[in-house]
């Protein structure tokens, strides 16, 4: 009924966009929406032609006008449906990135950021942003960046790490790169990546000990032994 009222202003557009959002929320797929319009067209065409059987030219113009507004209506609803779905996917992707790049406090003044998997530009930016935010939030002086879970190291990944380290240093904090396996070390040397000015340790435990030394702290056993 709305299609044939002839008012296609802002209120009409808002209503059609809202329908697309509702369809996405309740899981009504576009094929059902388009299938319903296919039925409408099958029902409408013969009735229009019958009503204007003495003026077929006018009947065709009316039918084409109806088809035009149906096409617009379908485009609006499906575009909104897709946009709503993409927003959900984007939100879920952000949540996955946050889970995949945790930054936790392991000691007063020390945070740890374990990396798992490969780094691309989006994830590297997300990692750097979260690391910097947590450093400021927790007033950390030392950040342990653990790459034990990074399967391979290439020039791009190494560059992302160096950029993150430089950003941390601008905040006045120190970075300790942990989990540097022999294969990773050989790859970095082969790629010509200079980490001579970055503190490195083979394990997170060794990195934490170095971080505590930087803060002039010690962990003692109950018997007083270090």
214 sits in which H/E element: helix 204-214
Helix (H, G, I), strand (E, B) or coil at 142: strand
Q: Strand pairing partners for 104?
A: 112
Domain that holds residue 165: 104-214
Does some domain include residue 219? no
Degrees, nearest 5: CA angle 33-35-39: 120
Count structural domains, the chain: 2
pLDDT, residue 189, reads: 84
pLDDT, residue 141, reads: 94
Task: Please name which of 110, 119, 129, 126 lies closest in space to residue 174, comparing C-alpha atoms.
Answer: 110
Question: Of 96, 112, 145, at which residue does a domain stop?
Answer: 96
133 and 92 housed in the same domain: no
Rounded to a whole number of angstroms, the distance between the first and last alpha carbons of the chain is 82
pLDDT, residue 96, reads: 61
Token pair in block for residue 69: 């507004």
Mean pLDDT (10-residue bins), the chain, 226 residues: 80 82 82 85 87 89 87 83 78 63 87 84 84 93 91 84 91 92 84 84 90 84 65
Question: Of 38, 64, 96, at which residue does a domain stop?
Answer: 96
CB atoms within 10 A of CB 218: 9
Question: Of 61, 96, 131, at which residue does a domain stop?
Answer: 96
DSSP string, 4-18: TS---SHHHHHHHHH
How far apart CA 216 and CA 149 sit, in angstroms, is: 29
81 and 168 housed in the same domain: no
pLDDT, residue 99, reads: 61
Can you give 43-70 as a three-state secondary structure string?
HHHHHHHHHCCCCHHHHHHHHHHHHHHH
pLDDT, residue 98, reads: 60
How far lies 163's CA from each of 41, 118, 132, 144, 159, in Å?
Answer: 59, 16, 12, 15, 6
CATH of the domain at 147: 3.30.750.24
């Amino acid at each position: 009924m709305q299609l044939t009222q002839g008012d296609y202003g802002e209120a009409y557009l808002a209503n059609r966009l809202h329908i697309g959002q509702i369809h996405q929320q309740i899981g009504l797929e576009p094929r059902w929406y388009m299938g319903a319009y296919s039925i409408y067209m099958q029902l409408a065409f013969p009735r229009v032609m019958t009503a204007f059987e003495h003026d077929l030219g006018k009947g065709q113009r009316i039918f084409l006008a109806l088809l035009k507004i149906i096409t617009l209506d379908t485009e609006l609803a499906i575009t909104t449906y897709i946009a709503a779905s993409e927003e959900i996917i984007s939100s879920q992707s952000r949540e996955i990135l946050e889970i995949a790049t945790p930054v936790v406090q392991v000691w007063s003044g020390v945070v740890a950021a374990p990396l798992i998997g490969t780094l691309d530009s989006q994830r590297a930016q997300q990692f750097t942003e979260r690391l910097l935010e947590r450093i400021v939030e927790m007033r950390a002086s030392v950040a342990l960046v653990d790459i034990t879970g990074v399967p391979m190291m290439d020039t791009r990944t190494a560059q992302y790490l160096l950029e993150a380290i430089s950003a941390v240093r601008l905040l006045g904090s120190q970075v300790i790169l942990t989990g540097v396996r022999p294969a990773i070390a050989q790859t970095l040397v082969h790629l010509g990546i200079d980490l001579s000015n970055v503190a490195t340790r083979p394990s997170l435990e060794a990195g934490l000990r170095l971080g505590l030394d930087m803060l002039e702290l010690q962990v003692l056993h109950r018997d007083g032994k270090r």
